[in-house]
Amino acid sequence: MNSSTYCVAQLNMNGNHLVPDQILDYSRANGVEVLLLQEVPTSGNRLVGFDYSAVRTVLSCKEGSARAAIVVLNQDIEVVALQGLSDRHFAVASLRKRHGQAVVFVSAYFKYSIQTHIFTARLGLILDSIDQDIVIGADVNAHSPQWFSRPGNNTGSARGTHVESLIAEKHLTVHNQPGRLVTYERHGMGSSNIDVTLTRGGSLVNSVSEWDVLDITDSDHRTIRFKIRIGSGPEGPAIGKRRFNTRKADWDRFRWVLAQKVLGDPETMVGGCDVVAGALTRALGQAMEASMPRSRKSARIKPPWWDAGLEESKRRLNNFRRTRDYKVADRDQFRVLRNEHLKKIRRAKMESWRKFATSINSDIWGPVYRWARNGSSKSRIPSSVLREDGTFTVTALETAECLLESLIPRDVTAPIFEHGIVERERPEVTEAEVKRAVWRMAPNKAPGLDGITAGVLRKAWGVIGTPLTSVLRECLRRSVFPDCWKTAEVVVISKGQDRDPSLPKSYRPVSLLSAPSKVLERLVVDRLEEETGGALSEEQHGFRVGKSTISAIKSCLDWVDNSQEMVVGVFLDISGAFDNLRWNILIRDMMTLGASDATRSIIQSYLTGRRAVLSVEGATAFADLTRGCPQGSQLGPSLWNLSMDRALVTNNDDRVKLVAYADDLAVLIAGSDILDIQGRARATLGALRDWAELRGLTFSASKSQAIPLKGGLRSGFTVPFGAQDIVAVDSVRYLGVELDSKRNFWAHVSIVAGKSESLYSRLRAASSADWGLRQSTSAVIYRAVFLPRITYAAEIWAKGVLTKKAIKLLGSKQRRALRSLTGAYSTTSTDALQVVAGQLPLDLEIRWHVVRTRRKAGQISEEEMSDQWDRLLDIWQDRWDSSVKGRWTYGIFPDIRRRLVLPLEVDHYVCQFLTGHGDFNSKLESFNLRGEAMCRCETEDESVDHVLYRCPLLSAERDRVIRQIGEDVWPCETKVFMDTRSNYCALRRFAREAIEAKRSSDRLGLVPG
């Protein structure tokens, strides 16, 4: 095996926002693969200037105060962030090349205002926690002859002594070389060597070469560049994972190649189920290889806005830096040149951003919406995780193995299945049934290891429809699930940004399976549900037709309302439910519920010999599965329902109710007093614990919750649960709804009100008067995203919006969305925003959603729904009539019903004239946003009324409006602008001309005075 060499650059960036482009440009040109950075410029929790798909960054912390970072530019390097060892001033990561050993890199910043011994102690802890070789790039802010730095004072020497002691104690090697440029130089502050390159490990003592100091950025610190050779290491196993770019597929060639493989040689499709399934899978893969490119990681580091003009500007700047004394004698001239370059960069970035933001109007659900919904892309670098023994993983392979072991539990021995299932039926499978199964799957959902998606199967159907049906029919007849379809690629998904990334349980495993295998699973599911569906409890609401989260919540609350006693709700948490279920008991549950011999037999085959594969940064861990229902499979939910059904039938007490949605289990207990309830809870929960233990499951008492739901009980009492107690609280989140003990749902309204704020905050950044998100596009997002998020399960909690404080809160949270719909100024009242946008106040929107839901369910007639709509509009009209806000808008839209039938296209310009809030000196002065109220015509204060009707500077623009409206009615009432489409268009044109004329005048300095 060969050793591997890393090309590394080390730099204190001094927080300079120009430096990222400079260091990246140098790195591209000179093959630098790893950057060890200090005093990094950050924004929020991201590193500024490194937002490229080919760049991976490890920040020293995620709270926005990171002072160090490691940046990896070579996509072939495995990277694991050692977050457990990192803090604000230290970024730590494990790196490994394909043929090399893992090596730990540390970027360290010893801040001058903090005593050095604090940093040396912290670095000592990092060194003690790691067995691997270590490379350290540090700004130590200290002096010592060891790194050729002469102290300017006693303080610098004392700091150096602390670092020297650490070097000696931990057997570190200093790699700084004499005769190079100093690493730090600042005009008026002197110069020195305070940036140090260190390594630990016998094999690294002589491994550093070409160590040099370069003056290539605007930072006060110079760049250290070196190469380091790392010893060879084992090469991890390959898993044969394939991903294809189906958007660039040549589908005609795909079908031709596939036909040659499948139909051209009939012998390839002859044999047992395993043989034919394998041949069909290989044929699909070969056809994909021949007709479409593989998906590849982007290697682009240069930003999309970079052009030839910037390249030339950069060349002039770099040439000046090389040939002139840019830090002293020619400093002023250099600053002019640098600022011109920065101005060009900002202009190019803004133009690129405008183009990106505007693209949402032609592709609503594309990249701009995804950015607005999710924010900037998160780090793609996995974190090291904590093992059970308290140590952290270091390498990618260790991390993959730890995650797989923690998230996919296995028994020591494989389960023993029932034998002798011989009375198998011979279920027929038609080609139409298989086609329905294929078309039921999302076409672009992530595929398994073979890269075959449901969309590919659709494109291939004309060729493989008959042979695929044939092999699936044979699989069902013989009760065989092919081995080639039993390997799942496991990907881990974070359970939330608030979860500790170093804990394995902060992740949820999802199995990516071959699309052909999921087709066979669907056929099995259909038969299983047909055989057992009638026997399942009505109180399992998950994964069942006609059931939902809402039906589960409603079942709970209806039972509480019908009870005449005190009621306590206990909401149980099953630890890793889907991943721990024992298979032999599952098969027994199937038999109890009436599954046929044939179905049980093929499910036994499905469960036998399954494997899981999990990759972290290319390092792969494998596991043989012995329990659990794969999350992401077609069969998993149905199998889980069978086992959960056995939990629901454990209850024989009519004063206890069990309700399940997937693995969420609600236990409702009624009783005459708390002692009665606690006694029933002890018996019920004990039976559930027995059910769980038999199936290899455990309940987490610490994550389970209890709440008083009826009878005046206060929180704080306990519910016995084995050796632990569950303490009752005031509110619990159940299936997305916040249930509170008072049943007024104020807690839920408060949470709902804050939804989508971040979405609209980002959309605001993608909006301007003349570019970006159009108001019509925003209206689509409002109806398709904002309202469904808000109104989820509203039929359960809608009574919570009837109070004044709820109406006010919801209105305030609706403002951001309404401003996006209208382009209105932030000073515009909520009352006016709702009318101008033509959108119901949010509390009324929630109530209207409930009415429509009831109509859809057949609970009310069409006439009753119409009456309810009229009542809601009457409520809105009463509010609008009595409001003291938005009175200018009221003059234009006095009638709510009339406004709702007007198909108005609102933009930033006309909205100012519809609301009276905008670029009007009088209005801005009233908010202390403008120094004076006088119009630039100097005849009176500049209000919307003055600009529209009287300002002499806009006579020509106004004359065009008068010709449209009619001289005989001018000056007209403002509501006349809404009488006809042409009247409104005249107002829109005047609004744009008036605002643009004022802005042009302001730019030229033509202001009153």
Q: Minimal CA–CA distance to 123: which of 78, 71, 68, 79?
A: 68
475 and 604 in a single domain? The answer is: yes
The dihedral formed by the CA atoms of 337, 343, 345 and 347, expressed in degrees to the nearest 10: -150
What is the structure's pLDDT at 842? 96
Tokens representing residue 97 in the block: 């090349």
211 and 85 in a common domain: yes
Euclidean distance between CA atoms 61 and 42, whole angstroms:
11
Among 599, 627, 649, give the residue marking a domain's end. 649
Predicted model pTM? 0.85
- Which amino acid, one-letter code, is at 703? K
Average pLDDT value for residue range 691-717 = 91
Residue with tokens 């036909």: 259
What pLDDT digit, counting tens, does each position of 8-37 carry?
Answer: 999 999 988 889 988 998 998 899 999 999
Nearest-CA neighbor of 221 among 110, 324, 312? 110
d(CA 793, CA 510): 27
Same domain membership, residue 166 and residue 37? yes
Q: What would the pLDDT profile of 220-258 be if each residue is shown by its tens digit? A: 999 999 999 988 766 655 555 788 888 999 999 999 999
The residue to which tokens 């023993």 are assigned: 416
Query: Which one of 1-10, 878-887, 923-932 scores highest in mean pLDDT?
Result: 878-887
β-pair type (90-96, 103-109): antiparallel
On the 0-12 / 13-18 / 19+ scale of CB atoms within 10 A, 239 is middle
- 3-state secondary structure (DSSP) of residue 532: helix
pLDDT of residue 239: 56
CB-based contacts of 556, cutoff 8 Å, min separation 6: 569, 657, 659, 666, 668, 734
Q: How far is CA 79 from the centre of its chain?
A: 21
Are residue 49 and residue 174 in the same domain, yes or no? yes
- CA atoms in the 13 A half-sphere facing the CB of 170: 29
Tokens found for residue 234: 């084992």
Residue 1007 is predicted with a pLDDT of 46
Instruction: Please report whether residue 664 resides in a domain.
Output: no
Q: Which of the pair, 666 or 663, is modelled with greater confidence?
A: 666
Mean pLDDT value across residues 824-846: 96
Q: How confident is the model at residue 819 (pLDDT cuts 50, 70, 90)?
A: very high
CA distance 970 to 963: 9
Q: Which residues contact 412 (CB under 8 A, 6 or more apart)?
A: none
Please tell me what DSSP assigns to residue 934.
Answer: B
How far is residue 921's CA from residue 939's CA, in Å, rounded to a whole number?
A: 13
Asked if pLDDT for residue 606 goes beyond 90, the answer is: yes
Average pLDDT, the chain: 89
* Residue 262 maps to a domain: no
**pLDDT tens across 441-468, in order?**
999 898 999 999 999 999 999 999 999 9
User: pLDDT exceeding 70 applies to what percent of the chain?
Assistant: 95
Last residue of a domain, one of 176, 208, 230: 230
CA distance 961 to 983: 8
Q: How many C-beta atoms surround the C-beta of residue 982 within 10 A?
A: 10
Do residues 667 and 567 touch, judged by C-beta distance below 8 A? no
pLDDT at position 916: 94
Q: What are φ and ψ of residue 542, in 5° steps?
A: -95, 140
For residue 797, tell me if it sits in a domain: no
> Which residues fall within 8 angstroms of residue 8, CB to CB, at 6 or more apart?
32, 33, 34, 35, 36, 105, 135, 137, 225, 226, 227, 228
Cis bond before residue 952 (omega within 30° of 0): no
Give the pLDDT of residue 839: 96
Same domain, 107 and 17: yes
| Mean pLDDT calculated for residue range 461-486 | 94
Domain endpoint, select from 597, 620, 649: 649
CB of 651 closer than 8 Å to CB of 431: no
* Under 8 Å between Cβ of 385 and 503: yes
Q: pLDDT tens digit string along 971-1001?
A: 999 999 999 999 999 999 999 999 998 888 7
C-alpha 822/C-alpha 817 separation (Å) is 9
Q: Looking at the structure, do residues 323 and 183 belong to the same domain, yes or no? A: no
Q: Is residue 601 domain-resident?
A: yes
Structural domain boundaries, residue 332: 305-353
Instruction: Assess if residue 172 is contained within a domain.
Output: yes
Give CA–CA dist 674/653, Å, rounded: 17
406-420 average pLDDT score: 68
Please give the Cα distance from 887 to 829 (Å, whole number): 10
What does the alpha-carbon distance between residue 569 and residue 711 come to, in Å, rounded to a whole number?
Answer: 12
**pLDDT given at position 1009:** 36
Please enumerate in sequence order all residues whose Cβ is within 8 A of that of 671, keeping only pairs 6 or more positions apart, or say none.
565, 566, 568, 655, 677, 679, 680
Domain-located, residue 622: yes
Where residue 90 sits, what CATH number does that domain have?
3.60.10.10
Strand partners, 80: 94
Q: What is the predicted pLDDT for the residue at 726? A: 93
Average pLDDT, stretch 496-514? 87
Residue range 180-213, pLDDT digits in tens: 999 998 876 778 999 999 999 888 989 999 999 9
Q: Residue 305 pLDDT more than 50? A: yes
pLDDT at 394: 87
997, 942: one domain = yes
pLDDT at 75 over 80: yes
**Same structural domain, 173 and 123:** yes
The answer to whether 506 and 495 are in contact (CB under 8 A) is yes
First to last CA, the chain: 81
β-bridge mates for residue 4, sequence order: 230
pLDDT for 182 equals: 94
pLDDT at 64: 62
Q: What is the DSSP letter of 1009?
A: -
Q: Are residues 629 and 490 in the same domain?
A: yes
Q: What phi and psi, each to the nearest 5 degrees, are found at residue 938?
A: 65, 25
Q: Which residue has the higher pLDDT, 1002 or 462?
A: 462
Rounded to whole angstroms, the Cα distance separating 730 from 713 reads: 10
Please report which residue ranges of 823-861 form alpha helices under DSSP H. 830-837, 842-856
Residue 377: pLDDT band (50, 70, 90) is low
Q: Looking at per-residue confidence, does 262 or 756 come out higher?
A: 262
pLDDT exceeds cutoff 90 at 266: no
Residue that is written with structure tokens 């830096």 in the block: 321
CA–CA separation, 574 vs 391, rounded Å?
27
Of residues 319 and 849, the one with the higher pLDDT is: 849
Q: Report whether pLDDT(1) > 50.
A: no
**Total number of domains in the chain:** 4
Residue tagged 């005075």 (tokens):
1009
Rounded Cα distance, 307 and 352, in Å: 11
- For residues 800 and 788, give the distance between their C-alpha atoms in angstroms, rounded to a whole number: 17
**Domain-embedded: residue 324:** yes
Distance CA 487, CA 449 (A): 8
* For residues 575-579, average pLDDT: 80
Instruction: Report helix, strand or coil for 96.
Output: strand
Whether residues 88 and 143 fall in one domain = yes
Q: What is the four-CA torsion angle of 409, 548, 664, 682, rounded to 10 degrees?
A: -140
- Do 211 and 314 reside in the same domain of the chain? no
Is residue 408 within 8 Å of residue 505, measured between CB atoms? Answer: no
Which residues are bridge partners to 530 per DSSP? none
State the virtual CA torsion across 844, 849, 853, 856 in degrees, nearest 10.
Answer: 100
Are residues 409 and 487 located together in one domain of the fold? Answer: yes
Cα 3 to Cα 469: distance, rounded to the nearest angstrom: 51
pLDDT given for residue 1004 in this prediction: 64
Cis peptide bond upstream of 178, omega within 30: no
Work out the percent of the chain whose per-residue pLDDT is above 90.
59
What digits encode the pLDDT tens for the residues 863-914? 999 999 999 999 999 999 999 999 999 999 999 999 999 999 999 999 999 9
The values of phi and psi at residue 393, to 5°, are -70, 155
Identify the pLDDT of residue 152: 61
Whether 13 maps to a domain, the answer reads yes
How many beta carbons lie within 10 A of that of residue 488, not counting itself?
Answer: 27
- Contact status, residue 987 vs residue 961, Cβ threshold 8 Å: yes
**Which amino acid, 934?**
M
Q: pLDDT (tens digit, 9 = 90+) per residue, 609-629?
A: 999 999 988 888 999 988 888
Rounded CA gap, 467 and 447, in Å?
Answer: 21
Residue of 172 and 500 predicted with greater confidence = 172
Q: How confident is the model at residue 945 (pLDDT cuts 50, 70, 90)?
A: very high
- Provide the pLDDT for residue 298: 63
Phi and psi angles of residue 406, each rounded to the nearest 5 degrees, phi first: -80, -35
629-639 pLDDT, tens digit per residue, is 877 888 989 99
Position with higher pLDDT, 375 vs 950? 950
d(CA 163, CA 689): 57
Residue 680 CB partners (closer than 8 Å, separation 6+): 653, 655, 656, 669, 670, 671
Q: Quote the CA–CA distance of 642 and 663 in Å, as a whole number.
A: 12
- The amino acid at residue 681 is A
pLDDT at 18: 82
Residue 1008, pLDDT score: 40
